Amino acid sequence: MGTKSTAPEAQENRFATYPDVLAKAARHADRAVPLKAYCTGLLLPGGRKSVEPMAARLAPGNVRRMHQSLHHVVADAPWSDQLILGQVRGYALSAMKAKGPVQAWIVDDTGFPKKGKLSVGVARQYCGQLGKQDNCRVAVSLSVSTNKASLPIAFGLYLPEAWVNDEDRRKQAGVPKPIRFQTKPQIALEQIRQAIEEEVTPAPVLADAGYGVDSQFREGLTELGLQYAVGVQSTTSVWEPGKTPLPAKPWSGQGRPPRLLRRIKDYQPLSVQALALALPAASWRKITWRAGTRRAWTSRFAELRVRPAHRDHERAEPYPEEWLLMEWPKGESEPTQYWLSTLPASMPLRELVRVAKHRWMIERDYEELKQELGLGHYEGRGWRGFHHHATLCIAVYGFLVAERSRFSPSARSGDVELRIPELPASFRPRGSRPPRTS
């Protein structure tokens, strides 16, 4: 690319017109200015990306007015997250696909530690950021990925049953009336159906074991015509290669003919762990699936064609065969990861591993969204504000993804040359400690 495309002034000019794209989706011309201001605040350097510190960075001479403007557009204004994300997707994906085709749809969830019980969705649950159970809220996302970049295209809060059934808290937090309890896999399937309806380029779906163990999630993907490579637990049961559940009992001539598959005491499926441990050493092959900046990512893998066995005694037909992919890193006492996959039966092991391991892209996205763009910094309690803030964080990330794909691979938050006033020396963000005088 020439100097004109990569110069800071050109990048700033592109960003200056980008909020116009978002404002069209917001369907209100007077939202263009506060949307641009909010996105600018997210891009600026600074440790905290909540409304008050962003207002001070953007308008040090009139923090209160800027605070009101930013708060209104994110917490109160009734624009559609789905429409904004659709515009972001169209803008970023065109640049992403210029560097290579869509490789995968990635399902994941992420936690946001949060105290109290009135902020929407907060409950004691597993928080991946903390690696343990704690007070947090959790959101489910769907991302589209090429070989070089990925972008969240859907983002929705998981609302625990305790919240769904608490009318007082729902009302205070502004939870829409149609919202009912859904498991995380159900939320993900809804996001995937919407992506199909919006004609997003289809690709294999990748997810960790939190989704892969749900047989209804896997069946839902197949019904939607999508292939998958999803993690499963070591206890997941399958029929070993060449075996299927027994057919229904012969009809006795009375009543309805039996139609359900059978198991008997000495004819049972195995856990994927038991199957992996029984494999001969020659079954495990060393595969390198990605060249990192510091080292190549390599491990040992084996694959088998199996049939899932989850509650198949309640079915009239066996599950179709699919891949069982297993990973056993050198030095470990047992295999560490397992996947079930409906990728083609002819796919070589190396390619199967590459696709299954491609899920790492979402970890990079969330790292930047949280650490540099303030995805978890929203301090409000409401449903609308939580989703609007996340949508605008993703919108800014979409701009950076497009910049990297088209012009500047090093474009990051804080590197876009935006001219703004300096932060006033007297400003102290809410909750911060005053400077020590001695």
pLDDT digit string, tens, across residues 366-393: 999 999 999 999 999 999 999 999 999 9
Cα→Cα distances 266→68, 123, 243, 245, 263, Å: 70, 44, 13, 12, 8
Structure tokens belonging to residue 157 = 């809060």
- pLDDT at res. 116: 84
Report the percentage of the chain scoring pLDDT > 70: 91
Helix (H) or strand (E) holding 239: strand 237-239
- pLDDT at res. 7: 58
Contacts of 408 (CB under 8 A, 6+ apart): 6, 11
What's the longest Cα–Cα distance across the chain? Answer: 95
pLDDT band of residue 29 (cuts 50, 70, 90) is low
Q: Residue with structure tokens 């595969």?
A: 287
pLDDT at 241 over 80: yes
Angle at CA 124, nearest 5°, toward 123 and 130? 115
| Cα 12–chain centre separation | 29
pLDDT at 434 over 70: no
Say if CB 212 and CB 221 are below 8 A apart: no
- CA–CA dist 387, 81 (Å, integer): 7
pLDDT at 4 over 70: no
Average pLDDT over residues 129-140: 90
- pLDDT at res. 89: 96
Average pLDDT over residues 85-107: 95
Average pLDDT over residues 204-215: 97
pLDDT at 405 over 60: yes
pLDDT at 280 over 90: yes
pLDDT at 119 over 70: yes
Query: Residue 280 is which amino acid?
Result: P
pLDDT band of residue 426 (cuts 50, 70, 90) is low
- pLDDT at res. 52: 92
Burial class (CB in 10 A: 0-12, 13-18, 19+), 434: exposed
pLDDT band of residue 430 (cuts 50, 70, 90) is very low
Please, what sign has the CA dihedral across residues 423, 424, 426, 427?
A: negative
Helix (H) or strand (E) holding 402: helix 383-406
User: By C-alpha distance, which of 397, 375, 321 is closest to 137?
Assistant: 375
Contacts of 158 (CB under 8 A, 6+ apart): 109, 121, 137, 138, 139, 140, 182, 184, 187
Say if CB 240 and CB 270 are below 8 A apart: yes
User: By C-alpha distance, which of 94, 91, 98, 86 is closest to 142?
Assistant: 86
What does the mean pLDDT of the chain come to? 89
- pLDDT at res. 24: 78
Report the percentage of the chain scoring pLDDT > 90: 71
User: By C-alpha distance, which of 326, 288, 320 is closest to 306?
Assistant: 320
pLDDT at 117 over 60: yes
Query: Residue 129 is which amino acid?
Result: Q
Helix (H) or strand (E) holding 123: strand 123-127
- pLDDT at res. 419: 57
Domain ranges of the chain: 3-208+362-406, 221-241+263-358
